[in-house]
Amino acid sequence: MTLKDLLKSLEYSILRGTDDVEVSDVIYDSRKVIEGCAFVCIKGYAMDGHRFAQDAVEKGATSLIVTDDIDVEGDVNIIKVQDARVALSKMSTEYFGNPAKELITIGVTGTKGKTTTVAMIRSILETAGIKTGTIGTLGIIIDNKVYKTNNTTPESYEIQQTMRKLVNKGGSVLIMEVSSIGLKQHRTDNILFDYGVFTNFSHDHIGGNEHADMEEYLSCKSLLFKQCKTGIVNIDDEHTQALLKGCTCKVETYGYSEEADLTGFDDSLLARSGYVGVTFCTKGAEELKVDVAIPGRFSVYNALAAISVCRHLNVSTENILKGLDTVKVKGRVEVVPTPGNYTLLIDYAHNAASMESVLTTLREYNPTRLVTMFGAGGDRPKARRYEMGEVSGRLSDLSVITEDNSRFESVHDIIADIKTGIDKTQGKYVVIPNRVDAIRYCIENAREGDIIVLAGKGHEDYQEIKGIKYHFDEREIIEDIIKSL
């Protein structure tokens, strides 16, 4: 493909050379430069791609896309654009042949619930036999294979590349977590989403390199509803009307409100051995009695969003019900099968706020005991450890204190800090420094009706110690322990 073809939807000027040249790839990371590629000089928070332009040329880049005047040596074409991120998005779209037009695309935005809502939609669609890919916090998932990403919403090149890969593998639906930063930085440009979903809005991502204030944060989220055909929004959130100001899409609503297009009601907690979730009914657009295999009343909202999307697609009522009844989100209150009459969960909670949320939710199920196994990350503030110890001591019937990613700190020093917090409470605890031994202890000492939470690792499959990441998947460890018993 020629550079001219890649740039055809952009305004640009040629500072040196020509645009009539073949391009082997579009690259924005100088470490990945290949012979004959176009290198796009992105300005990030910490790095400016213009600084690596000479290096890119020396590695074989034959074209540079810049926003600043630049002086480099070598036989290279230099193209100046107004915004390099916009250019990267448009060039990537052309390079991969605009794959969004060959897919049903679903974008989910909101402060909380994006990952779970995406998982619910995927579970329903795959139950119906619809091959689906996802992009989000857990990475890129196609055919149950996970490709790790650096951001919830990756750069536009990776998004376009993923869509093309999904199409080539016979997929028909892409579901994506669309972050406010992703929208702000044009990562999802050139995708007209078939459905845009809004979960909720609360204080987050303010300051530093993210958003100046709540107004900008909400404004960036609202961009999704200017680039989708149908917006599906939580009518109960107080920010919904402001979010929809200036939207260009058809709007549908869900929530507990009687005014919603899809209304949830009569919800209650649902628990049995190896299953914690919620059950509720819907009326309006669909009349259903739904069981959801994810605990907490907030799961009702996520399920309502998923139903609101999937009712437009080629799925049956049975597909919807089965998809929600069997849904799993890796590392998010994820139930792991065991032979005993207790419930074992893996969760990513690794700070006091997330632990408080998870443990408070699980206490509502009135377990025989709520047992929490956790550690804390090394090279992180000590206050975080004190707070985690205090939260677990207050909300758990038993805390099992162990290691997490200790990094360059002593596990024993980290545990001592956790004990400082837990000693402020009346909570019972045991200390088992080795995490495998701690998991074994929890399983061997489980009582009927217990809920046991292995907190901190979640979807991670490694343990970081002294600069090295060792393979460590709690699901595999649990399976090995159960076999040995």
Query: Token pair for residue 73?
Result: 């040596």
359, pLDDT greater than 80: yes
Residues 197, 266, single domain; the answer is yes
Contacts of 58 (CB under 8 A, 6+ apart): 74
> How many structural domains are present in the chain?
3
Which two tokens mark 226?
């200017």
Q: How confident is the model at residue 202 (pLDDT cuts 50, 70, 90)?
A: confident
- What was the pLDDT predicted at 111? 86
Q: What does the pLDDT read at residue 19?
A: 97
* Residue 354 and residue 311 share a domain: no
The enclosing domain of 293 has a CATH number of: 3.40.1190.10
**343-347 and 334-336 beta bridge pairing:** antiparallel
Q: Give 151-166 pLDDT, tens digit per residue.
A: 889 999 999 999 999 9
Mean of the pLDDT values across residues 423-445? 98
Cβ neighbours of residue 38 closer than 8 Å, sequence gap 6 or more: 3, 6, 23, 25, 26, 27, 61, 62, 63, 64, 65, 91
Average pLDDT over residues 338-343: 95
pLDDT score at 431: 98
Mean pLDDT of all residues in 16-29:
97
Same domain, 165 and 303: yes
pLDDT by residue (tens digit) across 286-315? 999 999 999 988 999 999 999 999 999 989
Tell me, what CATH number does 83's domain have?
Answer: 3.40.1390.10
Residue-number span of the structural domain to which 60 is assigned: 3-95
89 and 16, same domain (yes or no): yes
pLDDT in tens, 368-406: 999 999 999 999 999 999 999 999 999 999 999 999 999
Closest among 285, 286, 279 to 324, alpha carbons compared: 279
- Is residue 210 scored above 70 in pLDDT? no
Q: What angle do CA 259, 270, 295 make, to 5 degrees?
A: 75
13 and 107 fall within a common domain: no
Average pLDDT (171-176) is 98
Q: Are both 79 and 118 inside the same structural domain?
A: no
Same domain as 212, residue 185: yes
- Please report where in the chains the tokens 């088992």 appear, as a residue: 432
Mean of the per-residue pLDDT values for the chain? 95
**Percent of the chain, pLDDT > 90?**
92
Per-residue pLDDT, 73: 95
CA–CA dist 290, 283 (Å, integer):
11
Question: Cβ distance 261 to 272 under 8 Å?
Answer: no
Of the listed ranges 128-142, 214-228, 330-344, 437-451, the one predicted with least confidence? 214-228
Residues 262 and 386 in one domain: no
The last residue of a domain, from among 95, 127, 143: 95
- CATH at 363: 3.90.190.20
Which of 14-28, 120-134, 191-205 has the lowest average pLDDT? Answer: 191-205
Question: Average pLDDT, stretch 278-287?
Answer: 98
Q: Are residues 171 and 310 in the same domain?
A: yes
Q: Are residues 130 and 31 in the same domain?
A: no
Asked if 280 and 139 sit in the same domain, the reply is yes
Residues 217 and 260 grouped into a single domain? yes
Picking from 56, 72, 95, the residue at the C-terminal end of a domain is: 95
Residue 358 has pLDDT above 90, yes or no: yes
- Please say which residue of 95, 130, 147 terminates a domain: 95
Residue 205 has pLDDT above 60, yes or no: no
In the structure encoding, which two tokens stand for residue 241, read together?
Answer: 């009307």
